Amino acid sequence: MADSLVIRSATLDDYQGVMDIGKLYDGLDYLPVQYEKYLKRFNCYVGEIDGEIVAFHADRLVDAGVTIVNAAARVKESFQGRGILAAILKHVRDSYVNQKTVKYETMTVNNVNVHGERIKRKFTLLLERILVELIGDVGDFNPNKFESDQTAVQELTSEDLKKIFQSKDTCSRLFPGERIVPNWYPYRLLPENIPLMMDWFKFWGTKISDQSTYKTLTVTEHFHLGEMLIFKLCIYGNDVVDIQQHCLKHIQNLNLLVKMGTCTSIIVHITYSLDFQDTATFLSMFEKCGFKINDDLHHNRMLVYEREIK
């Protein structure tokens, strides 16, 4: 099967063919609204068999040219399990063969990925994070339950992030596994990654009272899927009270987005460290604002894998 596979760069004209690969992620597929953004930021490929697009893949070189991040992969259901993704991944690795800096390949998968055991044979698990999904109707959203200290949580600049990455102490406290994973892409804590990340995500921080080290860092991204607002929040740190402050800030931010747009429902995806135990406090804040936790979510873990390729 993989023999008749033609792998080529994806273009805007492939939009429909890529969408026809299938409906993914229970109606929460980001690609229909972010396809153009992916083409601009990533190396995107389609896999074709007899002229039919059967696969899509996106990668990006990060960590100052050291790591290939596999950022998106999908294969048409009737073509799955026949080595198509494996062939595309080889194609991606081969595309960097002349780039001497490249040493690692990385990707993030969820805990229900059917290839989990196969992935473990070749890749090392770097870190695991918990994923919680909160669902709310705009009509039930009541953000005014809390007084927010708007000044405590500040949006970070690239200079702020640079300082954070330079501090070994802050990094070891905030980033287990020495990676930051805004949404689902892992980055080493290197200044070279800052422009790549800032191009897509917003970073928020609160400092310890001496004003030199950071206590909590959160990363956010949002987009609309039809009338649904999708808000992604990644939490780094373990201070319960401080994390509450961040959640208050983001609830206020959600309120602004709701007021600006025409959405009728909101989905919030929160990821946080496996070590962080006291989650009830901040999750209950979202519940008090009208959100419900999706207890049926099976893919409630984010697993970051890496392997050395040279």
Instruction: Give the residues lining the site for ligand COA (CB under 6 A).
Output: 24, 70, 73-75, 80-86, 89, 107, 109, 113, 115, 118-119
Of residues 112 and 274, the one with the C-beta less far from ligand COA: 112
Q: How far is the CB of 171 from ligand COA (least distance, A)?
A: 26
Contact 46, 55 (CB under 8 A): yes
Going by C-alpha positions, the residue among 233, 242, 222, 303 that lies closest to residue 272 is 233
Q: Judged by CB, which is closer to ligand COA: 59, or 63?
A: 59
Cβ 103 to ligand COA, closest distance in Å?
18
To ligand COA, the closest distance from the beta carbon of 35 in angstroms equals 15
Give burial (CB, 10 Å; 0-12/13-18/19+) of 82: middle
**CB 72 to ligand COA: min, Å:** 7
Q: Which is nearer to ligand COA, 56 or 286 (CB)?
A: 56
- Of the candidates 268, 270, 286, which has an alpha carbon nearest to the alpha carbon of residue 229? 268
Query: Toward ligand COA, which CB reaches closer, 109 or 219?
Result: 109
Two tokens, residue 289: 């604002």
What is the nearest approach in angstroms of ligand COA to the Cβ of residue 269? 15
109 vs 189, beta carbon nearer ligand COA: 109
